[in-house]
Amino acid sequence: MTQATAKLIDGNALSAKLRTDVAQRVTALKAKGVTPGLAVILVGENAASQVYVRNKVKSCAEVGMHSVLERYDASMTEADLLARVDALNHDASIHGILVQLPLPAHIDANKVIEFISPAKDVDGFHIASAGALMVGQPGFWPCTPYGCMKMLESIGYALRGKHAVVIGRSNIVGKPMAMMLLQQSATVTICHSATPDLKAHTLQADVIVAAVGKRNVLTADMVKPGAVVLDVGMNRNDEGKLCGDVDFDGVSRVAGYITPVPGGVGPMTITMLLVNTLESAERAAGEAPTA
């Protein structure tokens, strides 16, 4: 029996293409005397965070950007961290500040994020950035949902009038994702852990974004044939292999498009961090097209 197979949206290939464009714009900006700079702050020894920050710093170098990685012991005080953020807010060589989350429990992450200058908030986590997205003003968009939007753009998907279902309501992915989809005139449903019948919603969806951090949240019986499925999840299966929130094998027989894990949304997150940092530098240099 032949089965329909979803087309893959390749996050590595799209990232490579976007990063080539970023590198060219970095070169152009450097020729005018401005080198885009990202500061990454890591507090503590979280193993996953160490991998993430290393990749962020490495990716900056690959596109010709300046970056600094500041690593601090888990015992760092909140006051000391705020002082570092303040110094970076005033450092003209730094256009983006990223404080890697999670932070140790004794530090109020919200307080630290609100201390970052909105002009350098390349993670898009500041309340000013969230507010700007909400009301459609220029500002930094959180990198993961921004990457998802670029993936939809890459397949020429027109969201206007389409029904999008976002599974997950985090401040980092679910909520900003819903706002971005809404801004493109999709009809948006946000589902979460208290949604009684998830399948009833997803079966109606033209686009599904799964962002809960739990395996097999979305299975083939929950997907309308031809739907576009974006998988933001990063989990491990029983064999320890990286997998997303979506049952990839099953869903790819029903969906029209699907993002793999790994090699889907993941690489796009760092790519959009580079884009945000570049745009911050372009704005600082007085030549940014507004978002």
Give least dist CB 101 to ligand GUN, A: 4
Is the Cα dihedral 128, 129, 135, 138 positive or negative? Answer: positive
| Residue 141 contacts residue 272 (beta carbons within 8 Å) | yes
In Å, how far are 58, 77, 98 from 84, measured between CA atoms? 22, 11, 12
Least Å from the CB of residue 280 to ligand GUN: 15
Helix (H) or strand (E) holding 72: strand 66-72
Q: Is-catalytic flag, 56?
A: yes
Per 3-state DSSP, the chain is made up of helix, strand and coil in percentages (nearest 5) of 40, 15, 40
**Catalytic, out of 121, 123, 231, 247:** 123
Catalytic residue list contains 100: yes
> What phi, psi does 28 have (nearest 5°)?
-65, -40
Q: Are strands 66-72 and 163-167 parallel, antiparallel or unpaired?
A: unpaired
Work out whether 128 is an interface residue with ligand GUN (CB under 6 A): no
Among positions 123, 206, 245, 279, the unique one binding ligand GUN when judged by CB under 6 A? 123
**Pick the catalytic residue: 56, 120, 150, 175?**
56
- Backbone torsions φ then ψ of 129, nearest 5 degrees: -70, -45
* Span 220-279, contacts to ligand GUN by CB under 6 A: 269
Which residue's CB is nearer to ligand GUN, number 202 or number 269?
269
Q: Which two tokens stand for residue 185?
A: 């005139």
Q: Minimal distance in Å, beta carbon 163 to ligand GUN?
A: 27
Q: Is 109 in the site for ligand GUN (CB under 6 A)?
A: no
* The binder of ligand GUN chosen from 101, 119, 182, 198 (CB under 6 A): 101
Check binding of 143 to ligand GUN (CB under 6 A): yes
The minimum distance between CB 53 and ligand GUN, in angstroms, equals 9
99 binds ligand GUN (CB under 6 A): yes
Q: Hey, what amino acid is at 94?
A: I
Which residues are annotated as catalytic? Answer: 56, 100, 123
- What are the residues binding ligand GUN (CB under 6 A)? 98-101, 123, 143, 269
